[in-house]
Amino acid sequence: MKESVCCIQRFHKKGYGTGKSPGFSKPLHVIGGVIGDELIVEVKTKQRAFIKQITHLSPYRTVPKCSHAPSCGGCSWQQVDYLFQLEQKQQRVHELFACFIKEQFILKSILSCDQIWQYRNKMEFSFSQDRSGQQFLGLIFAGSRGHVFNLQECWLVSVWFSSVVAQVRLWWKQSGLSAYRLDNTGSLRTLIVRQSLSTSDRLVMLTVSGRPEYALNKQQIQQFIQKILLTAPEPEKVSIFLRIQQAIKGQPTQFFEMHLHGPDHMLEKLNIEGKTLTFKISPTSFFQPNPRQAEKLFSSALQAIQGPKKHILDLYAGTATLSIVFAKIADRVTAIELNPHAVFDAKVNKELNHIKNLEIICGDVGSKVQELKNDPDFIFPDLVIVDPPRTGLDGKAIKALLELRPQEILYISCNPVTQAHDIQLLMPKGYQLVLLQPVDQFPHTVHIETIALLRLF
Ligand X SMILES: C[S@@+](CC[C@H](N)C(=O)[O-])C[C@H]1O[C@@H](n2cnc3c(N)ncnc32)[C@H](O)[C@@H]1O
Question: Which residue's CB is nearer to ligand X, number 8 or number 312?
Answer: 312
CB of 245 to ligand X, least distance (A): 17
Q: Please give the C-alpha separations between residue 170 and each of 37, 135, 201, 230, 322, in angstroms, as whole numbers.
A: 41, 10, 24, 12, 41
In order, the DSSP letters of 1-32 are -EEEEEE--EE-TTS-EEE--TT-SSPEEEET
Question: Which residue's CB is nearer to ligand X, number 216 or number 386?
Answer: 386
Q: What phi, psi does 216 have (nearest 5°)?
A: -85, 145
Among candidate residues 361, 407, 363, the one with its CA nearest the CA of residue 385: 407
How far apart, in whole angstroms, are the C-alpha atoms of residue 442 and residue 24? 33
> Is 316 assigned to a binding site?
yes
CB of 40 to ligand X, least distance (A): 41
How far apart, in whole angstroms, are the C-alpha atoms of residue 145 and residue 45? 13
Question: Which residue's CB is nearer to ligand X, number 158 or number 323?
Answer: 323
Q: Tell me which residues are annotated as active site.
A: 414
Question: Which residue's CB is nearer to ligand X, number 216 or number 400?
Answer: 400
Question: Which residue's CB is nearer to ligand X, number 202 or number 341?
Answer: 341
Q: What phi, psi does 395 have (nearest 5°)?
A: -55, -40
> Is 387 assigned to a binding site?
yes
CB of 239 to ligand X, least distance (A): 19
**Cβ count near 80 (within 10 Å):** 27
CB of 339 to ligand X, least distance (A): 4
How far apart, in whole angstroms, are the C-alpha atoms of residue 318 and residue 287? 7
With contact defined as beta carbons under 8 Å apart, do 238 and 205 qualify? no
Strand order in the sheet with 254-261: 135-138, 122-129, 188-195, 202-209, 238-246, 254-261
How far apart, in whole angstroms, are the C-alpha atoms of residue 245 and residue 137? 18
**Cβ count near 424 (within 10 Å):** 14
CB of 324 to ligand X, least distance (A): 10
Q: Which residues form the interface with ligand X (CB under 6 A)? A: 286-288, 316-319, 321-322, 336-339, 342, 364-365, 387-389
With contact defined as beta carbons under 8 Å apart, do 398 and 370 qualify? no
Q: What phi, psi does 289 have (nearest 5°)?
A: -75, -15
Question: Which residue's CB is nearer to ligand X, number 128 or number 413?
Answer: 413
Q: Residues 66-69: contacts with CB within 8 Å, 24+ apart?
A: 66/153, 66/154, 66/155, 67/152, 67/153, 68/139, 68/149, 68/151, 68/152, 68/153, 68/154, 69/32
CB of 368 to ligand X, least distance (A): 7
CB of 335 to ligand X, least distance (A): 9
CB of 146 to ligand X, least distance (A): 23
How far apart, in whole angstroms, are the C-alpha atoms of residue 94 and residue 58? 24
How far apart, in whole angstroms, are the C-alpha atoms of residue 270 and residue 197? 10
Question: Which residue's CB is nearer to ligand X, number 156 or number 342?
Answer: 342
Q: Residue 145 gets which letter from DSSP? A: S
Coil, strand or helix: which one is 392? coil
Among candidate residues 65, 63, 52, the one with its CA nearest the CA of residue 21: 52
Question: Which residue's CB is nearer to ligand X, number 156 or number 277?
Answer: 277
Taking CB positions, which residue lies at the least distance from ligand X? 318
How far apart, in whole angstroms, are the C-alpha atoms of residue 308 and residue 328? 9
Return binding residues for S-adenosyl-L-methionine: 288, 316, 337, 387
Return binding residues: 288, 316, 337, 387
